[in-house]
Amino acid sequence: MRLFGNLFGKKEPDLGPVDLSVLEVDVHSHFIPGIDDGSQSMEQTIELLQAMAELGYRKVVTTPHNMADGYKNSPEVILGGLERVRDEIKRLGLTMEIDAAAEYYLDHELEGKITEGKVLTFGNKMLLFELPFISEPTQLLQVVFHMQTLGYKPVLAHPERYAFWYSDISRFERLKERGVLFQLNLIALSGAYGPQCKQIAERLIDGGHYELLGSDCHSMGHVQAIKNTLHKPYLHKLIASGKLLNRTL
């Protein structure tokens, strides 16, 4: 299977903006106010939800950070925040649906949380997790297996951002062979995280390796970055692939 497609030196065709309404559901965002590095107030949350509706989404699954040495967001904290957002949506008469899961940092506490069932998932027991950006955790495959043993479907957040795999594409293949679902950060396709990240995202699209597309939206700055990405040919290619599961959630 060909993974590599080199667009360097070539002018990207302008295919017009993608219609995100075909996705229906966004699966990665930070919209619960005041509990992580995303929205800091209910006013910001509502502004972001209205912007997502204008982009074409009918539903968001918001995913606050959960980590041992950072944002210690328990299911109770997240679900409590979710209810407050839902109450405000209802009060304002908005139509956007919102659910919540979490973005779990693969640290020394994650296996215990999984064992105890203290994790929030979306869809059919999909569990979103992220890795450190410095190096691959030694326990990565062990934790993936542990998730699967307990009936969870591991979803790796933004694999295109992990630079420690850039020189060895087989590391991505290894995870796909073990049944890990991949979630792309949409704005990676505009070069928002740098040219290497963009190229890796395109290679993974060429390989058919993404099942989920997420905004990872934290702020209105991210909303503008999404708008700046809508015309990118690889976004068109991914949505046209028919592989994305967003609208089934």
For residue 3, is it within any domain? no
d(CA 9, CA 47): 39
Give a yes or no: residue 56 inside a domain: yes
pLDDT of residue 15: 82
Q: For residues 54 and 67, what is the distance between their CA atoms, to the nearest angstrom?
A: 32
CATH number of residue 193's parent domain: 3.20.20.140
Answer yes or no: is pLDDT of 35 > 50. yes
Q: Name the 3-class secondary structure at 76.
A: helix
Residue-level pLDDT at 4: 40
* Total Cβ atoms within 10 A of residue 194: 12
pTM of the shown model: 0.94
Structural domain contains residue 15:
no
Answer for the pair 166, 196: CB distance below 8 angstroms, yes or no.
yes
Query: Amino acid letter at 51?
Result: A
- Report the pLDDT averaged over residues 102-121: 97
Residue 232, pLDDT above cutoff 50 = yes
Report whether pLDDT(214) > 80.
yes
Q: Domain span at residue 102?
A: 21-248
7: pLDDT strictly greater than 70: no
Counting the structural domains of the chain, the total is 1
**Structural domain includes residue 14:** no
Name residues whose C-beta falls within 8 Å of residue 144's C-beta, 6 or more positions apart in sequence: 154, 175, 178, 180
Asked if the structure places residue 190 within a domain, the reply is yes
Q: Look at residue 10 and tell me if it is in a domain.
A: no
Alpha carbons 63 and 74: distance in angstroms, whole number: 12
The kind and range of the H/E element at 130 are strand 126-130
Structural domain contains residue 152: yes
Amino acid type, 202: E
pLDDT band, very low/low/confident/very high, at 22 (cuts 50, 70, 90) = very high
Please check the confidence at residue 119 and state whether its pLDDT lies above 80: yes
* 48 belongs to a structural domain: yes
